[in-house]
Amino acid sequence: MRHPVHPALVHFPVACWSLATLVDFASLWLGERAWQWSGGLLAVGCTIAVLAMLAGLWELTRVPDGPALRDTYLHMSIMLAAFALFTARLLTRLDHLQPLAPDTLSLVLDALGFIALAVGGWLGGRLVYGHGIGR
């Protein structure tokens, strides 16, 4: 699998979702100027995540059976959970396409999404560096 597209795309949602989580929590101290960024970051992250997921599905056919495929399915499941959590975070805090200040629910969605993102990202690294997928 030479030059897979999926690993090139995943950096954008990872960065956007991580920064959105950071600014949402920072807004507890910094106020509106911080959380105003999270809506855009979440929207960009969710949009590019769809492209990354499609590329990952395309490249799935090249993953050999066995432990690598098992880890791939686990990676896909956890990253889908992260996508769902960050998408829910985005949609629950929009009012006529304008972001709203984070509340308890949105901070919980941020935290759970970030945990899923970290675990799924670790599994993605294990696929590349442990199983040699995409190298």
Question: At 43, which amino acid appears?
Answer: A
The predicted-structure confidence for 50-74, as pLDDT tens digits, reads as follows 999 999 999 998 899 999 999 999 9
Is residue 135 domain-resident? no
Is residue 113 domain-resident? yes
Query: In angstroms, rounded to a whole number, what is the distance separating the alpha carbons of residues 89 and 86?
Result: 5
Is residue 79 domain-resident? yes
Query: In angstroms, rounded to a whole number, what is the distance separating the alpha carbons of residues 108 and 110?
Result: 5
Is residue 1 domain-resident? no
pLDDT at 2: 63
Query: In angstroms, rounded to a whole number, what is the distance separating the alpha carbons of residues 90 and 99?
Result: 8
Is residue 116 domain-resident? yes
The predicted-structure confidence for 17-44, as pLDDT tens digits, reads as follows 999 999 999 999 988 888 888 989 999 9
Is residue 81 domain-resident? yes
The predicted-structure confidence for 99-118, as pLDDT tens digits, reads as follows 888 899 999 999 999 999 99
Which of 68, 116, 108, 117 shows the shortest CA–CA distance to 89? 108
Question: Domain count of the chain?
Answer: 1
Domain of 15? Answer: 6-130
